Structure 1
Amino acid sequence: MQFETPNGPVTFDIHHLVVAGWTGRDQDKVQHHIDELAAIGVAPPSQVPLFYRTSANLVQQSDHLEVLGAGTSGEVEPLVIHAKGALWLGLGSDHTDRPLEAHSVAASKQACAKPVADMLWPMDEVKDHLDDLELHCDIRENGAWVTYQTGTLSSIRPLADLVTAYDLPDGGAMLCGTLGAIGGVREGEAYRMRLTDPVLKREITLEYAMTTLPVIA
């Protein structure tokens, strides 16, 4: 895959993808969310955080996503790539099949492609102010854009801790967790996301629309 960086384009072969779940830094909020999901039939995680290995070919640089049936939804997440001996920070969406999630979270992660932005920052450039970086996601509902998620990386476990805990290999990519959904988790017609660095005055953006494929039997 090819990415733009502040120092020019780079090309990486991504052959390992993992989705980190339950990565909130406030453990009371994490437990509250676990309890909420348990009430609707989603099994609690075996450990916190939990790392879901998924197919590397789910990573896509695309502005259009095809999904099977209603009920899927995206989540804005920091993306960490370990490539050529260095760590890079980007932006991605852990698009997930929510009805399937009630049966198996792991299967729900595997069911949808994971759109990622085509821009990366060297981790060394942001590691001293990671908690200040801002995540934001809008969704389009009934033709209008509404704020769906917003916050800073200070609400997510330190990214270096997640990478170390999983031992992310060279050629690996990790989606590192997300923020609470304003108004509840739900499907959108399209997604518009950004990762903003208020210190270095720059941002990474990601936008994609969805086509829902019919479920037939």
Structure 2
Amino acid sequence: MNFTCNGAAVDIAIRHMVVAGWTGRDAAAIQHHIEELAAIGVTPPSATPLYYRVAAGLLTPSARIEAVGPDSSGEVEPLIVQSGGRRWLGLGSDHTDRKLEAHSVALSKQVCAKPCAPELWEWGSVADRLEEIELESWIDKGLGWQPYQSGTLAAIRPLTDLIAGADFDALAQDGGAAMMCGTFGAKGGVRPAARFRMEMRDPSSGRSIAHEYATDTLPEVA
């Protein structure tokens, strides 16, 4: 994949992709998200957190993706990318088929593209203040952008803990690896939208990364 970091091109061959789920640090927040998804039929997790493996080719910086049926939606998440002994922090969306999620969370994550911003930050440039990093998302259902999610990485388990839990360093030794690291509850509940916008901000430096994408709905043929 072609990324940029500090204005320079960074080409990384992503061979492994992990989606970490149920990563909230606050037990009440985790339960809220479980109940939020249970409302649309999703079975509670067997443990928290869980590390879902998905096809590496799902990660894409495209501004447009396709999904079968009208029931998929995005989630803003921190993205860790690692290759050749280097690590970066990025921004991604764990786009998921919510209808299929009620049957199998693992399968629902496998069938959708995972959009990401094409820009990365050097890990070392933010490693001392990761919990200050802010994430926010908006959706557009045809009536303009509406606030959807917001929070800081302090609400998510420490990213270094997730790296250890996923055995991510070992994966990254076998080619480039990427991991999405969890999200926040949705304002008004989880729901699909034609367009999704997300942003990551570092208050200390004033830097930000943003990305938005549209979802084209393909017919669900039985």
Instruction: State the TM bucket, normalised to the shorter chain.
Output: over 0.9
Tell me, in whole angstroms, the C-alpha distance in 2 between the residues paired with 1:127 and 1:142.
38
Aligned residue runs from structure 1 range 165-204, under 5 A:
165-168=165-168, 169-170=171-172, 171-204=176-209
1:25-52 superposed Cα distances (whole Å, 9 cap, x missing partner): 1012212432454465322212110000
Q: Which residue of 1 aligns with 2:215?
A: 210
Matches of 2:3 and 2:137 in 1, distance apart?
21
Structure 1 residues 40 and 63: CA distance shift in structure 2, 3 A: closer
In structure 1, what is the equivalent of residue 69 of structure 2? 69
Who is 1:87 aligned against? 87
Q: Alpha carbons of 1:97 and 1:8: their partners in 2 closer, same or farther (altered >3 Å)?
A: same
1:55-66 counterparts in 2 under 5 A? Answer: 55-66=55-66
- Which range moved further: 186-195 or 27-36? 27-36
Kept after mapping to 1: 8 A contact 2:37/2:190 = no
Q: Which residue number corresponds to residue 43 of structure 2?
A: 43
The structure-2 alpha-carbon separation of the partners of 1:142 and 1:7, relative to structure 1 and needing over 3 Å to count, comes to closer
**For residue 180 of structure 2, what is the amino acid of its counterpart?**
L
Output the aligned Cα RMSD.
Answer: 1.2
Q: Which residue of structure 1 lines up, in the alignment, with residue 12 of structure 2? A: 12
Asked whether the equivalents of residues 91 and 117 of structure 2 are also in contact (C-alpha less than 8 Å), the reply is yes
Matched pairs, number = 217
C-alpha distance in 1, partners of 2:41/2:144? 31
Write the deviation string for residues 170-190 of structure 1: whole angstroms up to 9, x where unpaired: 111000001110000001110
TM-score by length of 2: 0.94
Q: Structure 1 unaligned segments of length 5 or more: list them.
A: none
% same residue: 54
Structure-1-length-normalised TM-score: 0.96
Q: Give secondary structure in 1 for the equivalent of 2:183.
A: coil
What is the Cα deviation at residue 68 of structure 1? 0.4
Q: Is the alpha carbon distance of 1:213 and 1:175 closer, same or farther for their aligned partners in structure 2, counting shifts above 3 Å?
A: same
Query: Aligned pair 1:102/2:108, yes or no?
Result: no
- Partner AA of 2:34 in structure 1: I
SS at match of 2:25: coil
Between 23-32 and 91-100, report the one with greater CA deviation: 23-32
1:149 aligns with 2:149: yes
Q: What is the match of residue 140 of structure 1? A: 140
How far does the alpha carbon of each residue in 1:161-214 deviate from its partner, in whole angstroms, 9 at most, with x for none?
A: 101111112111000001110000001110111100111111111110111011
Shift of 1:23: 0.4
Q: Distance in 1 between matches of 2:124 and 2:16?
A: 22
3-state SS of paired residue (1:151)? strand
Q: For residues 92-117 of structure 1, give each alpha carbon's deviation from its aligned partner in whole angstroms, at most 9, with x where no partner exists.
A: 00000000000000000001000111
Q: What is the DSSP-based 3-state SS (H/G/I as helix, E as strand, rest coil) of the residue aligned with 2:14?
A: coil
What's the offset of the Cα at 1:142? Answer: 2.4
Partner SS for 1:131: helix
What amino acid is aligned across from residue 187 of structure 1 in structure 2?
Answer: P
Q: Would the aligned equivalents of 2:73 and 2:192 in 1 still touch at CA under 8 Å?
A: yes
1:208 aligned partner, one-letter code: Y
